[in-house]
Structure 1
């Protein structure tokens, strides 16, 4: 099986959220760097360090095979040719659930290497209040 090569951090991020929506463990792990210094923090979860721990967490989350409805908005990016940081608002819901899911704030960090862009960190946490002044759609300054 040929591993995909993501030519941009945005391509890797698109693949990450597609794998999440499909509960596809193999696709999810294709997005992650194979370095053992990767970090994943699920909402209200512990800090998981290392590829084995990250893999096991996604395996457990996807074990039911449930497909999800995932939307991402308000992406704020910063980076250079080697490292990219994306901060997004996530809405993850079960299909057919008409309620607006509570938003999550996620920071995804990607590194560029010989095998393209790969995720090295994902940290998601519940958003305190969607109408907070810092979460409006509009120009943002990243410093």
Structure 2
């Protein structure tokens, strides 16, 4: 495969990962995670400890899906790096989510969140699969930082 073809395939796998979350398609999420029997997968959700192994990781997605009525990801700042059958995708997840409805409403209150994520993919005979996902909330405002004010690089 050419580099451009690999990048397009990785981007498609990354998009499929987020679309499966948005639609609550647990089977698709499960298919997208690496399952070679030898390489442990890892996942860090914002504020969670490191989860290791398919069972632990997939249980976390089942739990999130069961407790999230609505979620939508708007991905920005997407960058893909490729090397030897491994791809690293960094992006900003602009997340809009809502919990269970209250007082007969159709949907619970919506909440926006900004998260940076690193998704590591491995190339397999079945295509690109998620090996590791690490997401962290953006807590610092990086817009309009003055030279004399501490920013994220100073932390």
TM range (shorter): 0.7 to 0.9
Q: TM-score, normalised by structure 2?
A: 0.73
Structure 1 runs of 4+ with >4 Å offset: 95-99
Indicate conservation of the 8 Å contact 1:109/1:121, yes or no.
yes
Indicate conservation of the 8 Å contact 1:70/1:91, yes or no.
yes
Compared with structure 1, are the counterparts of its residues 130 and 87 closer, same or farther at alpha carbon in structure 2 (3 Å cutoff)? farther
* C-alpha distance in 1 between matches for 2:68 and 2:97: 12
Query: Pairwise mapping of residues 15-94 of structure 1 onto structure 2 (< 5 A)?
Result: 15-35=16-36, 36-64=39-67, 66-94=69-97
CA-based RMSD: 2.1
Shift of 1:71: 0.6
Q: How many pairs does the alignment contain?
A: 126
Higher relative contact order (CA 8 A, sep 6+): 1
* Unaligned segments of structure 1, at least 5 residues: 1-6, 134-143
Q: TM-score, normalised by structure 1?
A: 0.78
Structure 2 residue 109 is the aligned partner of structure 1 residue 106: no
Indicate conservation of the 8 Å contact 2:68/2:97, yes or no.
no
